[in-house]
Amino acid sequence: MSAETVLEIRGLHKYFGPTHANKNINFTLKKGEIKGLIGENGSGKSTLLSQIAGIYKYDEGEMLLNGKPYAPANPLDANRAKIAMVTQELGVVDKLPVGINVFLGRLDQFAKNGVVNLKKLNQAAAQVFEKWNLPPVPLGALMTGMMIEQRKIVELARALSVEPDILLLDEITQSLSLNNRNNLYALIKRLKEMGKSVIVITHDIDEMLAISDSITVLRDGEVVGDVKTSETTAEQIRYMMVGRNISGDYYRADNKVDYQDEVVLKAENVTIPGEIEDVSFELHKGEILGFCGLSDSGIHSVGKAVFGLSKITSGSIRLVATGEEIKSAPDAVRRQMAYVPKDRDNEALMIHASIHHNCTLPSLDELKGSVGYLSPSKLKKLSDDVVANMSVKCTGIGQTMDALSGGNKQKVNLGRWLAKDLKVLVLDCPTRGVDVGVKSYIYGLMKKAKADGIATILISDELTEVLGMADRLVVMKDGRIIKTIRRDEEFTEHSVIEVMI
């Protein structure tokens, strides 16, 4: 172990019952190194980081931290060793305020005679946000109801409050808007300059090539490549990930606007105080209408409003053919609309329930018989069809959602809606936390939905995604629509960013 090496992993194995999640992992991390960790969903990346962070214990092998044996019993043990992690799935406690979440598990430092001094705690939390130039979050506010981006920033603050020598980031960037993503890149660079080390998991290969010094590739739980970033290409990384050459052309091949004249849905002067103001647009049959913007632009609030999940104080959202107004989610479902939110684990899926129950939930009304009877055979067929049609990797429809990888969760999330006869599909960051193969698959589903005449709203923090898929792109800022750009006009990343900022 060289003097520069801060973490070394030798022959590590991890099992979950019959599943061999990590196989004979050998891995090194140097002082001041930004290490990318990449692989398909289910390749063992999060499992590996979770063992470094003390969330799981490894079954075989050893870890050395600064040359000494390292086997953290829990995350607090890892924190004491100056290792902290931001997990892929959300790791905040909803019913507690932001400040307490920042120091969760380490509240003793602010307590006297068993009573926590909240003023002292919030001052310390504010110093963490200020020191690391994190966007402000109200420290006394409960986490309940906060957007996923704010939640991730709170998790990042908690990790940084440990003053870590090693920071582990599992799929954080895809939860952030463009400006906060750039802030994170600056933070990673600053940590490197301080001699700290970072391990980053991201499915965005171009992003990984831009920010890392070296990249370790996992496939089926094993290390299949460890390369210097300066000596590799995106194509080589993709090949190592999947074991074959795959095309990087995931998006639409055409450069023209292509949808029908029929307007399916119309939003007129929609306002939600503090979120969006005077938002108006039309959505056509067979159109993919993109929405993008910086943090607090309001794009995610638009998706909730369209599906009737937010109370609008003025304006309306109507289906043009019938004139019916969408005022609630049940209204939307009854009128052949579907919504896939950004935060799938908390806002979409019953994460501890089975694949079967998650698949059938949106279709219960359609599957009821004349006397309200639900046929078990029909329910099972629907679930089996979703799993088969979406190529979900699972042990069966009885498996619980929390046992699936991020990509397979999203396949279930999308597939259960696409099993219905839809007119409007609202997708909010549909490829967050999924690998290149699943991304390509989802884009293929969007193209098919478009060809079938489904009107789609695509909300995304990924500019390349909305530019690659949308017919028209609505750019928002501070809750208002700034400009709508057509696919056959100024459809470039540069022109959109100019409008956004």
**Is residue 247 scored above 60 in pLDDT?**
no
Cβ–Cβ < 8 Å for 432, 175: yes
Q: What's residue 291's pLDDT?
A: 97
Label residue 265 exposed, middle or buried (CB < 10 Å: 0-12, 13-18, 19+). buried
Q: What's residue 246's pLDDT?
A: 54
Tens digit of each residue's pLDDT (9 = 90 or more) over 41-70: 888 999 999 999 999 999 999 999 999 999
Other Cβ atoms less than 10 A from the Cβ of 188: the count is 19
Strand 197-201 and strand 83-86: the pairing is unpaired
Instruction: In whole angstroms, give the CA distance from residue 265 to residue 455.
Output: 8
Cβ–Cβ < 8 Å for 36, 200: yes
**Is residue 344 scored above 90 in pLDDT?**
no
Mean pLDDT of 237-259: 78
Instruction: In whole angstroms, give the CA distance from residue 225 to residue 202.
Output: 16
Q: What is the DSSP letter of 385?
A: H
Instruction: In whole angstroms, give the CA distance from residue 446 to residue 433.
Output: 17
Tens digit of each residue's pLDDT (9 = 90 or more) over 317-337: 999 999 999 999 999 999 999
Tens digit of each residue's pLDDT (9 = 90 or more) over 348-392: 889 999 999 999 988 888 877 666 778 888 899 999 999 998 888
**Is residue 244 scored above 70 in pLDDT?**
no
The fraction of the chain above a pLDDT of 90, given in percent, is 67
**Rounded-to-5 percentages of helix, strand, coil across the chain:** 35, 25, 35
Contacting residues for 329 by C-beta, under 8 A, at least 6 apart: 307, 308, 309, 339
Instruction: In whole angstroms, give the CA distance from residue 497 to residue 264.
Output: 29
H helical segments located in 4-147? 45-52, 75-80, 98-102, 118-131
Contacting residues for 53 by C-beta, under 8 A, at least 6 apart: 72, 75, 78, 83, 84, 85, 168
Q: What's residue 3's pLDDT?
A: 60
How far is CA 416 from its chain centroid?
19
**Is residue 304 scored above 70 in pLDDT?**
yes
Instruction: In whole angstroms, give the CA distance from residue 127 to residue 139.
Output: 11
Q: Among 43-47, 113-117, 133-137, 320-324, name the one with the lowest average pLDDT.
A: 113-117
Mean pLDDT of 259-270: 96
Tens digit of each residue's pLDDT (9 = 90 or more) over 197-228: 999 999 888 999 999 999 999 998 999 999 99
**Among candidate residues 329, 328, 332, the one with its CA nearest the CA of residue 422:** 332
Mean pLDDT of 23-32: 96
**Is residue 1 scored above 80 in pLDDT?**
no
The amino acid occupying position 314 is S
Q: What's residue 364's pLDDT?
A: 85
Mean pLDDT of 128-152: 91
Mean pLDDT of 158-182: 92
Instruction: In whole angstroms, give the CA distance from residue 189 to residue 480.
Output: 33
H helical segments located in 218-325? 234-242, 299-306
Instruction: In whole angstroms, give the CA distance from residue 34 to residue 166.
Output: 10
Q: What is the DSSP letter of 135?
A: P
Contacting residues for 214 by C-beta, under 8 A, at least 6 apart: 33, 34, 35, 36, 226, 227, 228, 229
What is the total residue count of the chain? Answer: 501
**Among candidate residues 498, 466, 469, the one with its CA nearest the CA of residue 482:** 498
Spell out the domains of the chain, with CATH numbers in brackets. 5-242 (3.40.50.300), 248-336+422-501 (3.40.50.300), 352-420 (no CATH)
Other Cβ atoms less than 10 A from the Cβ of 77: the count is 14
More confident site: 86 or 493: 86
Phi then psi for residue 493, to 5 deg, are -60, -40
Sheet with 263-272, edge to edge strand ranges: 276-284, 263-272, 314-319
For the chain, the straight-line distance linking the first and the last C-alpha, in angstroms and rounded, comes to 47
Instruction: In whole angstroms, give the CA distance from residue 311 to residue 131.
Output: 37
The fraction of the chain above a pLDDT of 70, given in percent, is 97
**Among candidate residues 114, 201, 157, 215, the one with its CA nearest the CA of residue 434:** 201
Question: What is the rounded (10 degree) CA torsion for 390, 409, 335, 368?
Answer: 80
Instruction: In whole angstroms, give the CA distance from residue 97 to residue 122.
Output: 10
Angle at 77 between CA 39 and CA 403, to 5 degrees: 40
Ramachandran class of 278: left when φ > 0, alpha when ψ lies in -120 to 50, beta otherwise: left
Q: What's residue 77's pLDDT?
A: 95
Mean pLDDT, the chain, integer: 91
